[in-house]
Amino acid sequence: MVAETEVMLKQSLPMVLDVQFFGVKDIDGVSTVKPPVSLPAASVSDDLSTSLSGLQSDDEDCSDSFYVPVIRSGSYADIGPRRFMEDEHICIDDLSSRVGSLYELPKPSAFYAVFDGHGGPEAAAYVRKNAIRLFCESDKFPRTSEVNSIYVEEVKSSLRNAFLQADLALAEDRSIGSSSGTTALAAFIFGRYLMVANAGDCRAVLCRNGEAIDMSQDHRPIYLPERRRVEECGGFIDDGYLNGVLSVTRALGDWDMKLPRGSKSPLIAEPDIKQINLTEEDEFLIIGCDGIWDVLTSQEAVSIVRRGLRRHDDPMRCARELAMEALRLNTFDNLTVVVVCFSSVDDSSAAASTLEKQRCCSLTAEAFQSLRSLLEG
């Protein structure tokens, strides 16, 4: 056999054009992962035709006023040591492609969410399946691409309403048992603007220059403000559980634990909402169910993802690596992670120019010697 060697010819490769999707899609097009197989999903969005302005916080420099991030994300879900998978998640990098025919959104626009079900998977699956309708097609959702203080307040109002309407919908759907419930965390990105709404113990963590910034508060009975609210409503905490039953103080569903509508209840669906303007110092956002946070701190998770991005720059792999680390640390729950990466237009252009695909061709030994002699002069 003639010995062969390879000469590598470089061919430029544009930014990711097609993305493999391993999830399962319902009629609403929202991705999910079904148990017991662990399945990843990844996507890329870089539609930056419109930027936001007028959303500076006091600690931001005016030079950041025109910063709009390029968004790409990856997700991973695993059943973990549990017998059943009750987690659900959403990963939409281009929200305008889902609702663009209804009204115009700021660009880029994105929607991410995690739902950690309990008492069966029905509640989490229902909210995920109906998330676009509940969160984005409500009459309260602002119908404009211009972002100002009024827009911000309208988004907040819309998110609160979406959580409460989802909670009521679970009570009215007879196919969902009264003991089925889910925690919920939803994150929206409009241009450089990030808003996170949370009810329960899922968590969103922003990495800013390597430092972890919690974008949500875990609603657990051990959290003093929640404990006080529960006791003021006539509830009690027993061994760290709400009314001796539930490990969270806010959730959608669980109507067997809620008082009649209109009454103050120890268990509520009202979300806490946090907002922030993204800057060039913001690297990525981690969203995860409590199976991650039971064994990892926010800073530990940020460090794991940051190291992964420096090695391979793949948010989907980072999401999987974070879940695998939680498993190694003996988490006892299902695992769901979404990693959303931010970069500037200039950074993305530079990455595109350096990303190359190599194509191989073979030469015989004689041809190689001839080429070598020619190059050596």
Residue 86, in any domain of the structure = yes
Percent of the chain with pLDDT over 70: 74
For the cut 90, the answer to whether the pLDDT of residue 6 exceeds it is no
pLDDT value of position 100: 67
pLDDT at position 375 is 72
Mean pLDDT for the chain?
81
Is residue 47 pLDDT above 60, yes or no? Answer: no
Strand, helix or coil for residue 3 = coil
pLDDT classification of 24: cutoffs 50, 70, 90: very low
> What's the pLDDT score for residue 365?
62
pLDDT tens, position by position, 254-299: 999 997 776 789 999 999 999 999 999 999 999 999 999 999 999 9
d(CA 92, CA 84): 25
CA gap 250, 269 in Å, rounded: 5
The rounded distance, in Å, linking the Cα atoms of 188 and 250 is: 20
Classify residue 353: in a domain, yes or no. Answer: no
Task: Indicate the number of domains in the chain.
Answer: 1
Q: Is residue 5 part of a domain?
A: no
The answer to whether 273 and 138 are in contact (CB under 8 A) is no
Q: Is the pLDDT of residue 62 over 50?
A: no
Supply the pLDDT for residue 367. Answer: 64
Q: What pLDDT does residue 191 have?
A: 83
Question: Among 172, 147, 135, which residue's Cα sits nearest to residue 68?
Answer: 147
CATH of residue 56: 3.60.40.10
What does the pLDDT look like over 143-185, one tens digit per residue?
877 877 888 889 999 999 999 999 999 999 999 999 999 999 9
Percent residues over pLDDT 90 in the chain = 62
Say if 309 falls within a structural domain: yes
pLDDT score at 66: 74
Lowest mean pLDDT among 65-74, 192-201, 300-309, 353-362: 353-362
Residue 342 lies in a domain: yes
Give pLDDT, residue 366.
65
Torsion angle, CA of 188/110/101/24, rounded to 10 degrees? -110
Between 200 and 368, whose confidence is greater? 200
More confident residue, 158 or 60: 158
Task: Render pLDDT for 30-45 as a digit per residue (tens, 0 to 9).
Answer: 444 444 444 444 444 4
What is the residue range of 175's domain?
21-217+268-347
Asked whether residue 94 carries a pLDDT value surpassing 80, the answer given is yes
pLDDT digits (tens, 9 = 90+) for 312-336: 999 999 999 999 999 999 999 999 9
Residues 218-231 have a mean pLDDT of 96
Q: Is residue 190 part of a domain?
A: yes
pLDDT for position 364: 59
In a domain, 11, yes or no: no
98-117 residue pLDDT tens? 886 677 888 889 999 999 99
Give the pLDDT of residue 107.
86
- Give the pLDDT score at 151: 86
Phi, psi dihedral angles at 94 (to 5 degrees): -125, 85
Q: Do strands 24-25 and 31-32 pair parallel, antiparallel, or not at all (unpaired)? A: antiparallel
Residue 272 lies in a domain: yes
Q: What average pLDDT does the segment 238-245 reach? A: 95
The predicted pLDDT at position 368 comes to 58
How crowded is residue 10: how many other Cβ atoms within 10 Å of its Cβ?
9
